[in-house]
Amino acid sequence: MQWQRLVRLSFACLISSCANESDPQPYRPPQLLDKRAMIGLRIAPVALDLKKADLRAVGLGSYLVNAASGCVDCHGCPTYASGQSPFKGGNGQLSAEHYLGGGAKIGPTLIAPGLTPDARGDPGGLTRTQFFFAIRSGKDPAEPTRVLQAMPWGLYRHMTDEDLDAIYEYLRATPHAEPGTCAGPGE
Ligand code: HEC
């Protein structure tokens, strides 16, 4: 009979809607920037190219580079803006012009390379695979048996893939810089 079919149908609907209610889709909050990414975006000392960037990755990368790892001590020459070395009474403002442009001399022979994008947009001329190789293995991607000297890769190699990806994305968003002149790392 028609009414029996109706009851069966509504019962089926009830069951399926009950099934949905007992197994709801997990609530996904809007993807907000976490604290570290927000600090990272605030403290980056240069104007970043954010057109194609994932803000969360770039922000985290900036945080790791600028608040945690000290890359610019060696990879920026000079490290600080003129007169702003915090060790000499300055406010610690980094040199924007030579930011991560490389050039600091470490010991008699080593020179820290630049880490900003080359003409192809690759940070320090390194692909993501080469960048991971350098940090994880501590070897020179251009000469894979040569151990990188001076660089604290022995510590950095323990970072997660996500953290290294974030650093790579951040470096990709920085403007290209050339080395200036400095007395050594951290100067
Ligand atoms: C104590 C100084 C120092 C610090 C701090 C430092 N580096 Fe380096 N880095 C160097 C030097 C010097 C080299 C070149 C070493 C060599 O050729 O033997 C180098 C090499 C590299 C290379 C390999 C580049 C290439 O083309 O072979 C990468 C990538 C790199 N550094 C990234 C970083 C990042 C990212 C950070 C921060 C997370 C960092 N470095 C912090 C000194 C440093």
Per-residue model confidence (pLDDT) at position 77? 97
Give the residue, out of 63, 151, 168, with the most ligand 1 atoms within 8 A of its beta carbon, to mutate for a pocket test: 151
Domain-by-domain residue ranges, the chain? Answer: 34-173
Residue with tokens 């040569």: 146
Residue with tokens 């927000």: 38
Residue with tokens 């990272």: 40
For ligand 1, whether the C-beta of 150 sits within 6 Å is: yes
* Residue 121: both structure tokens together: 């947009």
Cα–Cα distance for residue pair 48/46, rounded to 1 Å: 6
* Residue 163 near residue 64 (C-beta atoms within 8 A): yes
The neighbouring-strand residues paired with 94 are 80
* Residue 169 near residue 54 (C-beta atoms within 8 A): yes
- Residue 156 alpha carbon, nearest atom of ligand 1: 38
For ligand 1, whether the C-beta of 140 sits within 6 Å is: yes
* Residue 111: both structure tokens together: 């020179």
Residues 6-13: what's their mean pLDDT? Answer: 53
Per-residue model confidence (pLDDT) at position 29? 63
Residue with tokens 């920037």: 33
173 or 26, higher pLDDT:
173
Q: 58 alpha carbon to ligand 1 midpoint, in Å?
A: 19
Residues 146-172: what's their mean pLDDT? Answer: 97
* Residue 49 near residue 173 (C-beta atoms within 8 A): yes
pLDDT in tens, 21-68: 566 777 766 668 899 999 999 999 999 999 989 999 999 999 999 999
- Residue 130 alpha carbon, nearest atom of ligand 1: 29
pLDDT in tens, 69-98: 999 999 999 999 999 999 999 999 999 999
Query: Cβ neighbours of residue 68 under 8 Å, at least 6 residues apart?
Result: none
Residues 113-133: what's their mean pLDDT? Answer: 98
The pLDDT confidence band at residue 16, using thresholds 50, 70 and 90, is very low
Q: 150 alpha carbon to ligand 1 midpoint, in Å?
A: 8
